[in-house]
Amino acid sequence: MSTYDTFTEDLKRIAALGSISGLLEWDEQVNLPPESADYRARQSSAMSELVHREATRSQVGEWLAELKEDTSLDLDQQLVVSEAGKEYDRLTKIPADFVSRKAELTSLAFHAWGKARADNDFASYAPYLERNLELAKEEASYLGCADDPYDYWIDRFDPGMDATSIQRIFKGLKDELVPLVRQILDSSIKANTDCMKDFPVDRQEAFLREVTERLGFNYRRGRIDRSLHPFCSGNAFDTRMTTRFFKDNPLDSLFSSIHETGHGLYEQGLPHEHIGTALGEAAGMAVHESQSRLWENQVARSPEFWKFWEPVYRETFDQQLSGVSSHDFYLAVNSVALNPIRVDSDEVTYNLHILLRFELEKALFEGSLAVSDLPEEWNRLSEQIVGLRPRNDSEGVLQDVHWSGAAFGYFPSYCLGNLLAAQLWYALLEQVPSVPEEMAKGNFSPVLDWLRTNVHQHGRRRFALELSKEVTGQDLSHVSLIRYLRERYLPLYSS
Amino acid sequence: MSTYDTFTEDLKRIAALGSISGLLEWDEQVNLPPESADYRARQSSAMSELVHREATRSQVGEWLAELKEDTSLDLDQQLVVSEAGKEYDRLTKIPADFVSRKAELTSLAFHAWGKARADNDFASYAPYLERNLELAKEEASYLGCADDPYDYWIDRFDPGMDATSIQRIFKGLKDELVPLVRQILDSSIKANTDCMKDFPVDRQEAFLREVTERLGFNYRRGRIDRSLHPFCSGNAFDTRMTTRFFKDNPLDSLFSSIHETGHGLYEQGLPHEHIGTALGEAAGMAVHESQSRLWENQVARSPEFWKFWEPVYRETFDQQLSGVSSHDFYLAVNSVALNPIRVDSDEVTYNLHILLRFELEKALFEGSLAVSDLPEEWNRLSEQIVGLRPRNDSEGVLQDVHWSGAAFGYFPSYCLGNLLAAQLWYALLEQVPSVPEEMAKGNFSPVLDWLRTNVHQHGRRRFALELSKEVTGQDLSHVSLIRYLRERYLPLYSS
């Protein structure tokens, strides 16, 4: 075997080991008995330690050194080597004692955050957040990014992206989105979601199973289970999604399942033979999010989608929907309302929450904002950008888990994913004009086929910026998302 | 930290890693999507390889060498060291290429067995079985047991046990059990299990959950799920049982769940702080089986058990049981009938199946029986010992999976477990005479407390033979089992 083949076999083996860590987490969220958490932590940490040791063997470094000089490698192979090298650098340059210190401190911060949120007491959490910020900067410094730690973190989640590019993109978005939201909210037409009551959970489950299967999720290599918060984990060989059910909020479960299905379809579409290498891995969080959002929003909130599914839905829930007109139902599916909580927000107002967080993260990293001033700045900017002032810090600066784990620079990916989804959507409609018509007949394979060809099969060959340029011919920007939101929401909310 | 402490910490870490392999298997049986099996095999083999590597590090050998000379260790610590040393020897003396060759060949044999059983074609499987026998002998030879390979395998599952001891014990059992079975079968009284029809699965599930919880299974550190074949895996920190449901055979699920609960209670009763060392591990398969059997048979087929549970059972299944008298129901719980299949046999005839298999395994290892003659010898001995001749090889020599995995010497443990269960039961009744009365009130904690004190908390301090002697004052023998079967079944089947 060539060094390249030996090396990629080893990458795949390490990925298989890593996927076991993933399964431990899935099982923790889905199955773990309540008092088994301590032991699970022990299993997970023993496993992570082993995977880390395997991935940082000096043998790996030797292979990398040899392959970086190997001029016979083609472009794909060079990508595999350079991406693996980047990961190897990250794993070997960050000192082991920093890794365990960070794990310990973020675990403390996570618990402090939970308590602070419950008690509406930001001050008790502030020292932890300050330390997390320092940890994030320290980690960046090990990778030679002491001068631009925020860029380091953004690049971690979306390679090739940085704060300057995001600021430019978000500026355009903010200028158009803020007035659009006002326009929709000022409408006298209001969606009524209170009509959705008493939907039996077993029937919700059967319906979403039918929907997600028809969208293309391969249940022969995947499952859907229940957990407190929906997520998607695993890889193309065994993709595991979760959802949760509320009797009086059936759309939550349905749309979050379709969202996770979007993630799952991406994973299932990555080239199986390359899983564990850059050719078989997702191209960053924005691209991943573009996939979940495209299915959840562009597809599943469309009139064509519901043209096909509404009769099935009504048959499943005849009693519950008997007094609800088609128009009111479709309006409920596309309800828009300001919500102080990001994760409870609709697709129109959601992005405002991200603009807010990006401004704050940037200021924190630049040093122009002190952690102690964060709650007030959150509230001030929230009023300005989102359009409401949280009633308290629990509903404001304390609402998200991310910072408690020192995960900075992650929020922008959500919004970039929304932008990319809309951009991909219009490219798809242009290239395959029959998509709406096919969806109305319950045929979603033209959508999936196009995503497979243009996104999934490429692994990490194209990150968000290149992908956008190559597939849609346009730079990543706010233009398509604004167009999409206008086209979908203005007709609904114009009296 | 002392070398002993460092060493046992390492044993516990390796046990935690091993428990991850266990979880992968559990997940495979309970959750795995149908086409994810290949990847799971890859994950499992990558994991086993890592665990093997960790457990055979030269560092472990150095610790062992030092600790074997350490005269300051107490008896418990010496046990931990000697048991760990035995395992280290086994892992290091068996060559890696033999391990992978065996894994590959037994995997082929497993598939050949499945096909042969489906096709009733022993001849196609015979070459695989011959090779498995050779593999078993080869493995024994690496551990210095080339002269008595069958003893090696028996000792693997039940330390301290050998073919000679088993033969002596089984001789006594056969002499008394064969006529007892005839006596019961000759009775004009027959149990009627056909009356148990149409038991809704969700109610079966709720009932067995209530039963197993009251027996003492800790669901805060365990679960029960569904799988094709019932089993119990995990450890005291997270014990996972499975069962299966048949609408028309509710007793199958109930008793197999109680059986697995017996295994689970044993695991949950092992000293948590010692898990991963000999002080926190089960004392062999016979002892494990004694625990499952004691709960399944001595406890759950007793009149006192049903005095408490029958009203609840009737309330749960009022319609299904409306035409069934208490006497007929209790007779169904204690039904006795010859069955060619071991796993479908009742507790009276079950042991005959083991006597048969022991005779055959012994002859195979001694060389007095050729694999090609096995089917005929199976049928001949089956007629003589069990009392019926299988209609074909699928119902005869091909019925069990064990030999296809080169697992010889395992069958005797099932019967030894039955003997030990009966022996423990009479010791318990003598020491805690209120047990039947308490069971009739639904209080099973005197049983569990006694097992915790006399069996569970000792880990591997006492293997089956010593345990029997120390706890019951008697050598392990057929006496108690025969007494128990007579006392339970003769009154029921005497007209």
**pLDDT tens column, A382-441:** 999 999 999 999 999 999 999 999 999 999 999 999 999 999 999 999 999 999 999 999
Strand order in the sheet with A222-226: A222-226, A238-243, A232-235
**pLDDT tens column, A20-64:** 999 999 999 999 999 999 999 999 999 999 999 999 999 999 999
According to the model, what pLDDT value does residue B96 have? Answer: 85
Q: Which of B33, B43, B46 sits opposite A221 (nearest CB)?
A: B33
Average pLDDT of the residues in A191-197: 87
According to the model, what pLDDT value does residue A193 have? Answer: 83
Tell me the residue type at B183: Q
According to the model, what pLDDT value does residue B358 have? Answer: 98
CA nearest neighbour of A459 among A292, A283, A286, A288: A283
Contacts with B178 (C-beta within 8 Å, 6 or more apart), sequence order: B352, B385, B387
For residue A66, give the H/E element and its range. Answer: helix A58-68
Which of B19, B50, B51, B242 to probe the A interface (max A CBs under 10 A)?
A: B50
CA nearest neighbour of A79 among A377, A463, A464: A463
According to the model, what pLDDT value does residue B194 have? Answer: 84
Which of B226, B237, B242, B270 to probe the A interface (max A CBs under 10 A)?
A: B237
Average pLDDT of the residues in A356-377: 98
Average pLDDT of the residues in A353-373: 98
Q: Helices marked H in B73-95 — which ranges?
A: 75-93
Q: Distance between CA atoms of A159 and B152, rounded to whole angstroms?
A: 57
Q: Distance between CA atoms of B296 and B265, rounded to whole angstroms?
A: 12
Total Cβ atoms within 10 A of residue B306: 19
**Of A49, A69, A210, A260, which is the active-site residue?**
A260
Q: Distance between CA atoms of B222 and B237, rounded to whole angstroms?
A: 8
Q: Where in chain B do CATH 1.10.1370.30 domains reside? A: 157-495
- Check: CB of residue A207 under 8 Å from CB of residue A254: yes
- What is the chain A residue with the closest CA to B38? A237
* Per-residue pLDDT band at B195 (split at 50, 70, 90): confident
Domain B157-495, architecture per CATH: Orthogonal Bundle (1.10)
Q: How far is A127 from chain B (nearest CA, A)?
A: 34
Total residue length of chain B: 495
Contacts with A321 (C-beta within 8 Å, 6 or more apart), sequence order: A313, A314, A329
- What is the chain A residue with the closest CA to B51? A50
- Check: CB of residue B353 under 8 Å from CB of residue B347: no
CA nearest neighbour of B300 among B425, B482, B427, B203: B425
- What is the chain A residue with the closest CA to B268? A36
**pLDDT tens column, A60-96:** 999 999 999 999 999 999 999 999 999 999 999 999 8
Domain A156-495, architecture per CATH: Orthogonal Bundle (1.10)
Average pLDDT of the residues in A252-256: 96
- Check: CB of residue A88 under 8 Å from CB of residue A67: no
Per CB distance under 8 Å, which residues of A are interface residues toward B? 13, 16-17, 19-20, 23-24, 27, 31-36, 38-40, 42-43, 46-47, 50, 54, 218-223, 237-238
Chain B partners within 8 Å of A46 (Cβ):
13, 16-17, 20
According to the model, what pLDDT value does residue B376 have? Answer: 97
Mark yes or no for CB contact B221/A27 under 8 Å: no
Q: Distance between CA atoms of A106 and A101, rounded to whole angstroms?
A: 8
CA A372 to chain centre: 29
Tell me: ipTM over 0.90: yes
Q: Distance between CA atoms of B105 and B8, rounded to whole angstroms?
A: 34
Mark yes or no for CB contact B36/A238 under 8 Å: yes
Q: Which of B33, B47, B218 sits opposite A222 (nearest CB)?
A: B33
- What is the chain A residue with the closest CA to B272? A39
Q: Helices marked H in B120-229 — which ranges?
A: 122-142, 149-157, 163-185, 201-215
Tell me the residue type at B369: L
Residue B417 scores a pLDDT above 90: yes
Mark yes or no for CB contact A237/B34 under 8 Å: no
> For tokens 């046999």, what's the residue?
B345
> For tokens 């730690």, what's the residue?
A149
Q: Distance between CA atoms of A393 and A382, rounded to whole angstroms?
A: 12
Contacts with A187 (C-beta within 8 Å, 6 or more apart), sequence order: A493, A494, A495
According to the model, what pLDDT value does residue A189 have? Answer: 94
Contacts with A369 (C-beta within 8 Å, 6 or more apart), sequence order: A360, A363, A377
Identify each DSSP E strand in B174-303 by its residue range: 222-226, 232-235, 238-243
CA B328 to chain centre: 30
Q: Where in chain A do CATH 1.10.1370.30 domains reside? A: 156-495
Mark yes or no for CB contact A221/B40 under 8 Å: no
Q: Distance between CA atoms of A405 and A396, rounded to whole angstroms?
A: 17
C-alpha triplet B48, B52, B54: angle, nearest 5°: 120
According to the model, what pLDDT value does residue B100 have? Answer: 86
* DSSP-assigned states of every residue in A241-271: EEE---TT-HHHHHHHHHHHHHHHHHHHHS-
Q: Distance between CA atoms of A205 and B236, rounded to whole angstroms?
A: 33
Mark yes or no for CB contact A223/B31 under 8 Å: yes
Residue A260 falls in the annotated catalytic set: yes
Average pLDDT of the residues in B311-319: 97
Total Cβ atoms within 10 A of residue A59: 12
Average pLDDT of the residues in A231-247: 97
According to the model, what pLDDT value does residue A96 have? Answer: 85
**Of B66, B130, B139, B260, which is the active-site residue?**
B260
Q: Helices marked H in A158-237 — which ranges?
A: 163-185, 201-215
Helix and strand numbers (H, E) in chain B are 20, 3
> What are the structure tokens assigned to B189, written together?
């009284």
Q: How far is B277 from chain A (nearest CA, A)?
A: 16
According to the model, what pLDDT value does residue B278 have? Answer: 98
According to the model, what pLDDT value does residue B34 have? Answer: 92
Q: Distance between CA atoms of B222 and B1, rounded to whole angstroms?
A: 33
C-alpha triplet B467, B472, B476: angle, nearest 5°: 65
Residue A495 scores a pLDDT above 80: no
Backbone angles phi, psi at A299, to 5 degrees: -80, -60
> For tokens 């009739």, what's the residue?
B440
* Per-residue pLDDT band at A195 (split at 50, 70, 90): confident
- As a whole-number percent, the residues of chain B with pLDDT over 70 amount to 100
- As a whole-number percent, the residues of chain A with pLDDT over 90 amount to 96
B357: left (phi over 0), alpha (psi -120 to 50) or beta: alpha
* Per-residue pLDDT band at A142 (split at 50, 70, 90): very high
Strand partners, A235: A238
> For tokens 């210190």, what's the residue?
A101
Q: Distance between CA atoms of B159 and B168, rounded to whole angstroms?
A: 17
According to the model, what pLDDT value does residue B148 have? Answer: 96
Chain A partners within 8 Å of B32 (Cβ):
238
If DSSP codes are grouped into helix, strand and coil, which group holds residue A222? Answer: strand
Chain A partners within 8 Å of B24 (Cβ):
20, 23
If DSSP codes are grouped into helix, strand and coil, which group holds residue A74? Answer: coil
Residue B32 scores a pLDDT above 80: yes
Q: Which of B16, B32, B36 sits opposite A46 (nearest CB)?
A: B16
CA B422 to chain centre: 15
Residue A454 scores a pLDDT above 90: yes
According to the model, what pLDDT value does residue B495 have? Answer: 77
- Check: CB of residue A12 under 8 Å from CB of residue B38: no
